[in-house]
């Protein structure tokens, strides 16, 4: 949906105040509908107010079947930073004529370096699709 001409359909993942993630890749899985998402952006934030674009998709046709999943790398200087919150923001209509601003999603997976903070002590963990690594 759009509010005052601005896209406003999104999903949000909040890792909580003690966790941040420097993303390297992400995966989404579409739901069982044929309302395939085409244009969206993955964004990161520390406070939920200021958002940084991490990976933008315009007319992306990677998702073609119900329940399909796809993965993408997160590259560039913005991907080097750590974020507490991640948002998938719909930028344009889906393939659906009935619900063009519905963002159908079964799940999102985020991969990268996780930092857990406990009162001035930080522990880093690297996550990948096939393994978890403690650093």
Determine contact, residues 106/43, Cβ cutoff 8 Å: no
Q: Quick one: pLDDT band at residue 120, thresholds 50, 70, 90?
A: low
Please give the Cα distance from 129 to 115 (Å, whole number): 18
pLDDT of 31 over the 90 cut: yes
pLDDT of 84 over the 60 cut: yes
Mean pLDDT of 2-25: 85
Q: What's the pLDDT at 133? A: 44
**b/e for 33-51, b at 16 or more Cβ within 10 A?**
eebbbbbbbbbbbeeeeeb
Q: What's the pLDDT at 129? A: 56
The pTM for the full model equals 0.84
- pLDDT over 70, % of the chain: 82
Q: What's the pLDDT at 53? A: 96
Q: Quick one: pLDDT band at residue 128, thresholds 50, 70, 90?
A: low
């Amino acid at each position: 949906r759009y509010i005052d001409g601005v896209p406003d359909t999104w999903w949000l993942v909040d890792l909580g105040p003690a966790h941040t993630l420097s993303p390297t890749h992400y995966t989404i899985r579409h739901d069982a509908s044929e309302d395939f998402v085409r244009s969206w952006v993955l964004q990161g934030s520390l406070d939920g107010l200021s958002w940084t674009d991490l990976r933008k998709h315009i007319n992306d046709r990677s998702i073609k079947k119900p329940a399909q999943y796809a993965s993408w790398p997160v590259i560039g200087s913005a991907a080097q930073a750590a974020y507490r919150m991640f948002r998938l923001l719909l930028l344009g209509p889906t393939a659906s004529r009935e619900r063009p601003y519905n963002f159908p999603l079964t799940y999102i997976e985020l991969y990268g370096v996780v930092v857990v903070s406990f009162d001035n002590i930080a522990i880093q963990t690297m996550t990948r699709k096939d393994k978890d690594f403690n650093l």
